[in-house]
Amino acid sequence: MEADAGYCLFDTALGPCAVAWTASGITDLQIAEKTRAQTERHIRARSGAREAVPPPAVAEAILLVQRYLEGERIDFSAVRVDLPRASDFHRKLYLALRRIGWGKTTTYGGLGKMLDIPADARDIGQAMGKNPVPIIIPCHRVLAAGNRIGGFSAPGGTMTKEKLLALEGIHAGFSEDEPALPGLFG
């Protein structure tokens, strides 16, 4: 653990989320679990960091996540991320994911075509399942073939993915009558 690493919990429209960081950027973003204690336990275990007051750049990223989860159109491309545990393939994939803008989607196959290295849908899905910074690295914007919802490894699974897509006006694999918010588990 770096001396300047930290994590903090913060409230959102989905419930308590958490973020961890180093001096180089955001390392982890934990989407709300069923309880605040679960969210904190997971961010602490993944990051190995101690609870701390976020520095200004992290505080700004937190504000952006909060505004996004309230339904505001947010561009996360300027948020710095630090991915020390990511392989070269994962880094390349995450960079490609960050180019998929608000309200846009692609498929696993389409994402594979964006990469300059060979990768099949399974490789891409496994890498996305390890995305430590969901929302900021928008893996929810990748759909299965036929624009089906596909999987999502964050808390709440595909229900969370559907809600994030609904915030952006995308209705894939669920009823448009379903409210996008509040909360995942409420």
pTM confidence score: 0.86
Instruction: State the average pLDDT for the chain.
Output: 86
Domain 6-69 and domain 88-167 have a common topology? no
Through-space distance between the first and last CA atoms of the chain, rounded to whole angstroms? 35
Domain limits, the chain: 6-69, 88-167
pLDDT at position 165 over 50 = yes
The CATH number given to 88-167 is: 1.10.10.10
Element of type H or E holding 89 = helix 88-98
What is d(CA 152, CA 143) in angstroms, rounded to the nearest whole number?
Answer: 10
State whether residue 45 is helix, strand or coil.
helix
Q: How far apart are CA 103 and CA 172, in angstroms?
A: 12
| CATH level 3 topology of 6-69 | Double Stranded RNA Binding Domain (3.30.160)
- Catalytic residue of the set 49, 111, 128, 139: 139
Dump pLDDT digits (tens) for 129-158.
Answer: 889 999 999 999 988 877 778 878 787 888
Q: What is the pLDDT of residue 62?
A: 98
pLDDT computed for residue 118 by the predictor: 67
Per-residue pLDDT band for 3 (boundaries 50, 70, 90) equals low
Query: Which pLDDT score is estimated for 127?
Result: 84
**Average of pLDDT values for 66-84?**
95
Distance CA 115, CA 97 (A): 10
Active site residue 139: yes
Spatial CB neighbours of 66, under 8 Å, sequence gap ≥ 6: 10, 11, 12, 13
Highest mean pLDDT among 1-5, 77-81, 104-108, 118-122: 77-81
- Greater model confidence, 163 or 186: 163
Please, how many CA atoms are within 13 Å of residue 49, restricted to the half-sphere of its CB?
Answer: 27
